[in-house]
Chains A and B, each alone.
Chain A
Amino acid sequence: MFVALVLMCLGLWFSNPDFLGQSNVINTTRQISMLGIFAIGMGFVIITGGIDLSVGSLIGLTGVLIAKMSGPVNTSDPQFGGYGYSLWVGVTVAMGVAILIGLVQGLLITRLDLQPFIVTLGGMLLIRGISQTIVHGGTLSIGNDSPLLSLSNGGLFMVHGDPLVPYSVIILLLVVIVASYVLHFTVFGRYVYAIGGNRDASEYSGIPVKRVETLTYVISAGLGGVAGVCYAAYIRQMSQQVGIAYELYAIAAAVLGGCSLRGGEGTVLGMIIGSAIMRVIDNGINMFQVPYTDRDGIRKLWRLDSNWTFIIIGTVILVAVVLDQVVHIVQAARRTRRAGAMAAAASAAQPVAPVAGQPPPAA
């Protein structure tokens, strides 16, 4: 997958040198980071074999809550304004709500043995509805002088007013470090993989399956909240539309990065690569151009219609999972052949011991 990403980037750069221009790179990495943050959360859930369809709505709600809590007061029509509390209050409330939602969903799924698909689907709609009521059909601004703005615009190593390392990338790096450690080096991470690989075996091995699964939903929602803060800084005007279908991008990113929806597979690095592929495709559709000369000899650029976005992303996802399954089938066939050969070799090496437990017959 990483190879595919590199090839794509090279191809796009070849067609349009601006692709690797400073502003485009910074913008795209910012997008990748924001997606990556909650794709990692989704990854945790997917590895255990679950799914979280509510992340997109959660991102929307987080932004809306920040705007409501910390946005400027609209004196003429208070409904359409914020409460003007400090940013800290807004962010704390938003994150708190996000984690709470993750906890509730996790508990519903594990304690009542409900299907994750349905619970998070219901959550998705419910949360979207709550966002809608808070904004009353309009938009809420986070405020033109909100310190949050520097989150989206600012970063380290400022060059011409653009940061070479935007803050969202730094946040992503932190998330990656912590997530990698937890997923690949702790007992909790081992349990996440085990539950995805064989839930029964995990139960019978004494693993606290319910607790681990609930925590994955909390993680997904929590990271969704963090991403929501970043998106709020980026989008600034919060409407109830924010975040629609984002969870699908996260799922696609996770799957492209190696997570299997069956559970038990996936790595943090893969999730990042998957996120990068998703965003590069997105960006690439805008950037891709092929120079040609038309009938009148005028040089023109052929560009992709941005309406093609969904077609291309959908195709990429299908191709990726088909390839993954083909590899899976080939490996399984190889395993069966090997098992047959091994068993044949093993029975050749057996001491004579018929099932009846009789002593070996005289030679």
Chain B
Amino acid sequence: MDLQDPNLLTMRGITKRFPGVVALQDVTLTLNRGEVLALMGENGAGKSTLMKILGGAYEPDAGEILVEGRPVALQSVREAKRLGIALIHQELMLAPNLDIAANIFLGNERRELGLMTPLSRRSMNETAAALLRRVGLKLPPTTPVSTLTAGQMQMVEIAKALALDARIIIMDEPTSSLTAGESEQLFSIIRQLRSEGIGIVYISHRMEEVMMLADRVTVLRDGRYVGDLARGQITQDKVVAMMVGRELSHHYFPEKKPRPPGEPMLDVRDLLVPGSPAPVSFTARRGEVLGFAGLVGAGRTELMQTIFGVTPALGGGMTLEGQPYWPRNTRDAIRRGVYLAPEDRKRHGLVLPMTIAQNVSLPAVGSYNPYGLLDRRTERRVAEEEVSRFAVKTPTIYRKVVNLSGGNQQKVVLGKWLAMRPRVLILDEPTRGIDVGAKAEIYRHMAALAEKGITILMVSSEMEEVIGMSDRVVVMHERRIKGVLPRESLTQERIARLMTGRSEATAAA
């Protein structure tokens, strides 16, 4: 071991260029044994790129990497794995047609005879079973991955990293698909690994997790290294200031002016959502932000998909502005002014290879011209309106949305619907994966829309967001509505209590 560098990992002067953009410029990162390092930064700051370099997927244009004091050239994923570096991606990297054991050992099989080496299924299954026990996944290793939930798949990814006997584990937003219980499991595994001397790089936007786990925080901004914070110094304000480059006010939720409740806009009566054991009822009022809180799997997204017509209801009824509303498909919903900004915006909300202009005009483009031809002038006008309304950061409306950051992509999704005068806007996890600065902007826009009389149904898993933005909160648990809390009685404890199944004992307290 090189005594000049006591760190487990040192990355120095890392620079990476892609066509048209410098992703990383002279970035430094260090990691010690038995340390959890939180890597934070706005979307587009370069965190994923830096970690992909460490994982062997990319090669840097400049800079050096030292593992335990020795310089290494990470030219391939196999190289990185051989050096004990495991990267758990945010997007699940599993082959659905194979079973758990096969996925855990994917790329790590014994290859004494090259590619023609026979598979040693029995030993792989045994080792996989042991790893599954370690991560607390109670399933046989021969279970096909296609039958697993997102949370279970994430646990398999973690088992995969453990199978490598890694000394450096990188986790990119690991809790995004986990239930609270699975997250707790993950945290205890992380603490265990830390005590074994393994270094962990933890990428997350969730401040609570970072505050709980991180020994140190490294912040990147626009591809550059901003600085580190040690455990005692980590506060949300400081991190945000480093990420954004300016001090943000403590409360970045817009002030809620007290307003008399509007008349009912969407009334849901005994609606039976496919897959739910019981019907649900609630009323959303004009100009209100109705938050939907619940644990992963509580059924909020499914409810919204039924309201939007993706999965038509099996029973019950709805009225919209007093008229019966029963969408059999999304066209029915859109025609009545009910729009959905989905949870997975890249997959369901945008056509990534198309431009901003094309995406914004997509739902309405058929109506611009009576003969079914494309009307590029109207398309441009509408796109420019929405881009300026939401201050989307782009030099031109003809930029492909795949090149935008998460926050700007979400703005395009909102712009798409706003151009069509919504009555009810359903937002499913509107600020997931979006950096703090963009979040504040989106909150402002949401409040402005509500003020104009649009009803917003906001599904969110971030407690702060739910409490900060909602006029009322519908709490769901196991596909049922457990309670509706007015703004005055919104506390984390009350919401949490309802989210986990206990009903409100009394109206007060």
- Which residues in A have some Cβ–Cβ distance to B below 8 Å? 181-182, 185-191, 193-194, 196-198, 200-208, 211-212, 215, 264-265, 335-358, 360-361
Known: A191-B115, A202-B106, A205-B107. A353 touches B56 (CB 8 A): no
- Say whether B461 contacts A355, CB under 8 Å: yes
Known: A204-B77, A335-B147, A356-B463. A197 touches B496 (CB 8 A): no
Interface window among B37-45, B292-300, B365-373: B292-300
- Say whether A344 contacts B479, CB under 8 Å: yes
CA distance A341 to B183 in the complex (A): 20
Known: A343-B179, A349-B181. A186 touches B107 (CB 8 A): no
Known: A201-B106, A343-B297. A355 touches B116 (CB 8 A): no
CB distance from A185 to the nearest CB of B (A): 5
Chain A residues touching B, majority SS: helix
- Say whether A207 contacts B106, CB under 8 Å: yes
Known: A193-B95, A350-B500, A353-B184. A186 touches B295 (CB 8 A): no
CA distance A355 to B181 in the complex (A): 10
A186 contacts which of B119, B296, B496 (Cβ < 8 Å)?
Answer: B119
Find the A residue at minimum CB distance from B52: A204
CB distance from A349 to the nearest CB of B (A): 7
CB distance from A260 to the nearest CB of B (A): 9
- Say whether B208 contacts A356, CB under 8 Å: yes
Q: Is B212 an interface residue (CB 8 A)?
A: yes
Chain B residues touching A, majority SS: loop
CA distance A204 to B109 in the complex (A): 14
Name which of A188, A194, A340, A341 has the most chain B CB atoms within 10 A of its CB: A340
Known: A347-B295, A353-B181, A355-B208. A361 touches B496 (CB 8 A): yes
- Say whether A206 contacts B56, CB under 8 Å: yes
Chain B residues, Cβ within 8 Å of A361: 493, 496-497
- Say whether A343 contacts B97, CB under 8 Å: no
Q: Is B464 an interface residue (CB 8 A)?
A: yes
A350 contacts which of B96, B107, B115, B180 (Cβ < 8 Å)?
Answer: B180
CB distance from B181 to the nearest CB of A (A): 5
Chain A residues, Cβ within 8 Å of B146: 335
- Say whether B492 contacts A346, CB under 8 Å: no
CA distance A191 to B68 in the complex (A): 32
B181 contacts which of A351, A354, A357 (Cβ < 8 Å)?
Answer: A351
CB distance from B492 to the nearest CB of A (A): 6
Leading 4 A-B pairs by shortest Cβ distance: A343-B297, A205-B107, A197-B95, A206-B77
- Say whether A340 contacts B275, CB under 8 Å: yes
Can you sample 13 A-B contacts with CB below 8 Å?
A186-B116, A194-B98, A198-B96, A201-B92, A204-B55, A204-B93, A205-B77, A264-B97, A340-B297, A344-B478, A344-B479, A347-B179, A350-B179
Q: What 0/1 readout, one digit per residue, does chain B (99-142) give for beta carbons within 8 Å of chain A?
A: 00011001111110001111100000000000000000000000
CA distance A190 to B110 in the complex (A): 12
CB distance from A230 to the nearest CB of B (A): 25
CB distance from A343 to the nearest CB of B (A): 2
Known: A201-B93, A205-B107, A208-B115. 14 other contacts (CB 8 A): A186-B115, A190-B109, A206-B108, A211-B115, A212-B115, A264-B96, A336-B275, A338-B147, A342-B149, A343-B298, A347-B478, A353-B183, A355-B462, A357-B211
Chain B residues, Cβ within 8 Å of A348: 478, 501
Q: Is B477 an interface residue (CB 8 A)?
A: yes
Chain A residues, Cβ within 8 Å of B277: 344
A-B contact count (CB 8 A): 170
Find the A residue at minimum CB distance from B152: A342
Q: Is B89 an interface residue (CB 8 A)?
A: yes
CB distance from A268 to the nearest CB of B (A): 15
CA distance A203 to B58 in the complex (A): 12
CA distance A204 to B58 in the complex (A): 11
Find the B residue at minimum CB distance from A344: B478
Q: Is B78 an interface residue (CB 8 A)?
A: yes
- Say whether B106 contacts A205, CB under 8 Å: yes
- Say whether A202 contacts B181, CB under 8 Å: no
Find the A residue at minimum CB distance from B145: A197
CA distance A46 to B146 in the complex (A): 20
Q: Is B165 an interface residue (CB 8 A)?
A: no
Chain B residues, Cβ within 8 Å of A207: 106-107
Chain B residues, Cβ within 8 Å of A339: 149, 297
Q: Is B57 an interface residue (CB 8 A)?
A: yes
CB distance from B456 to the nearest CB of A (A): 20
- Say whether B298 contacts A347, CB under 8 Å: yes
Chain A residues, Cβ within 8 Å of B109: 187, 190
- Say whether B93 contacts A188, CB under 8 Å: no
Q: Is B61 an interface residue (CB 8 A)?
A: no
Find the B residue at minimum CB distance from A351: B181
CB distance from A339 to the nearest CB of B (A): 5
Chain B residues, Cβ within 8 Å of A208: 115
- Say whether B179 contacts A354, CB under 8 Å: no
Q: What 0/1 readout, one digit per residue, does chain B (494-508) give for beta carbons within 8 Å of chain A?
A: 011101110000000
CA distance A190 to B184 in the complex (A): 33
- Say whether A353 contacts B115, CB under 8 Å: no
- Say whether A190 contacts B496, CB under 8 Å: no
Find the B residue at minimum CB distance from A260: B97
CB distance from A312 to the nearest CB of B (A): 31
Known: A190-B109, A355-B180. A205 touches B76 (CB 8 A): no
- Say whether A205 contacts B119, CB under 8 Å: no
A187 contacts which of B87, B117, B179 (Cβ < 8 Å)?
Answer: B117
Chain B residues, Cβ within 8 Å of A345: 478
Chain B residues, Cβ within 8 Å of A340: 275-276, 297, 299, 302, 479
Within 8 A of A (CB), among B363-398: none
Find the A residue at minimum CB distance from B296: A343
B115 contacts which of A187, A202, A203 (Cβ < 8 Å)?
Answer: A187
- Say whether B499 contacts A354, CB under 8 Å: yes
Q: Is B81 an interface residue (CB 8 A)?
A: yes
Known: A187-B117, A340-B297, A357-B209. A352 touches B102 (CB 8 A): no
- Say whether B295 contacts A202, CB under 8 Å: no
- Say whether A187 contacts B77, CB under 8 Å: no
Known: A346-B181, A354-B492. A196 touches B97 (CB 8 A): yes
- Say whether B492 contacts A356, CB under 8 Å: yes
Q: Is B313 an interface residue (CB 8 A)?
A: no
- Say whether A346 contacts B179, CB under 8 Å: yes
Name which of B92, B115, B117 has the most chain A CB atoms within 10 A of its CB: B115
A206 contacts which of B102, B107, B206, B209 (Cβ < 8 Å)?
Answer: B107
